[in-house]
Amino acid sequence: MVNSSPAVAAHAEGEEIEVLESTDVLPVAPEDQWKSLFDKYDPENSGFINTERFRDLLAAHGSELDPHKLEVLLALADGNADGKICYQDFVNLVSSADELEMSNKRSNSFRRAILQGSRQLRNSALREEVGLGLSRRLVRHVAYETLPREVDRKWYFDSYTYCPPPWLMLAITIAEVIVFMYYGFQLNRWVLQVSSPYFLKGPLPYHPQLRAQAWRYLSYIFMHAGIEHLGLNMAMQLLVGVPLEMVHGALRIGLLYVCGALAGSLAVSVADMTAPVVGSSGGVYALVSAHLANVVMNWSGMKCQFKLFRMAMALVCMSVEFGRAVWLRFYPPAFPPCPNPSFVAHLGGVAVGLTLGVVVLQNYEQRLQEQSLFWIFFSVYTLFILCGIFWNIFAYSLLDVKLPPPP
């Protein structure tokens, strides 16, 4: 499978079109088709045709092209100041647009870039760029960490400006630290706050007796059982969540994070009905599992260094945190009959990450609403949420569940 394609850039003055060469071989059949067509307008076999003939070619055969692809080719003709179109530029653009299945957003950006010279990328591979500052090296590192195709990595590297910065994951992490420090001073406990009799009395944690307070199905993410719980979640949230937000934006990553957190608390209310819930593991596990699944699905295209070792380390961190949660759940509670917080939220987050999350992270530019698979998984997720709501309304009384006293 081809993982990268050439793209076209122009200098600020628009005097020369550059082609980003790819080491991958273009598909033979489409190239032969366009080569024979190009040769008809290049009887001298010079490898170039003037812009007038190029426009004639597009006028005669433009109906065979996607409209967005045609826009890019017209922009190539408009932006070429020397009056000639190189065959390699032409066939590379056709191949690139075929692979990208350009959305309106991307094709318009390509067109503006060629006409206005806003994209100034190099012919060399992105990893070979030299003289970059710390911030640009970070952007390049993030591109190789999260994107499987070279053309997307170059596109992202060229367009990312830190405006807006990855504020969402940072804001959630800061809020979690502030809440933990507040309860640390209030309870005079830092290592294992859950051992305090007042730990569940606040307005944030989910408790089965207080499940009618709907905000608790999300607000529980800001409280943690102890310093090790907070530390592991923070590490995964920052190391995985921030790069993903830099690439995919706060809206997509926020959607995935919230869906994982909500699925986690509802999963607890269904599968572990007497237990409370604290911690951001539902949202964090949704992000991490979606990212790991994306890496596995695009293994050959992912060019991050030591990816096998880093995947193993991520799985170890997830396993350690999950093992800690399982151990705590079955450890004798400090104040029976209320059990310790549940671990089922982790599983809810993983389920969201491996379904909805994979679709959200799979396509860098394609709009979510244009993906049928997204609507399938989102419909399944919505159905789960509705079933969870009805379960919480009716199942506890019908099953005569004996709940622990309210905190």
The pair of structure tokens assigned to 110 is 């390509």
Quote the CA–CA distance of 198 and 205 in Å, as a whole number.
11
Mode of pairing for the β-strands spanning 17-19 and 8-10: antiparallel
Cβ proximity of 247 and 147 under 8 Å? yes
Cβ proximity of 341 and 225 under 8 Å? yes
- Over its C-alpha atoms, the chain yields an Rg (Å, rounded) of 26
Query: With 0-12 CB in 10 A as exposed, 13-18 as middle and 19+ as buried, what is 323?
Result: exposed
Beta bridge partners of 60: none
Q: 85 by DSSP, 3-state: which?
A: strand
User: HSE on the CB side for 342, CA within 13 Å?
Assistant: 25
The answer to whether residue 289 is catalytic is no
Location of structure tokens 């290049």: 42
Catalytic residue (choose from 68, 229, 291, 346)? 346
Q: Give the number of residues written for the chain.
A: 407
Helices (H), 120-274: 134-146, 150-159, 167-187, 216-219, 227-236, 242-271
Catalytic residue (choose from 281, 289, 291, 342)? 281
Strands (E), 11-101: 17-19, 48-50, 84-86
Cβ proximity of 151 and 115 under 8 Å? no
Quote the CA–CA distance of 81 and 15 in Å, as a whole number.
5
The answer to whether residue 229 is catalytic is no
Active site residues: 281, 346
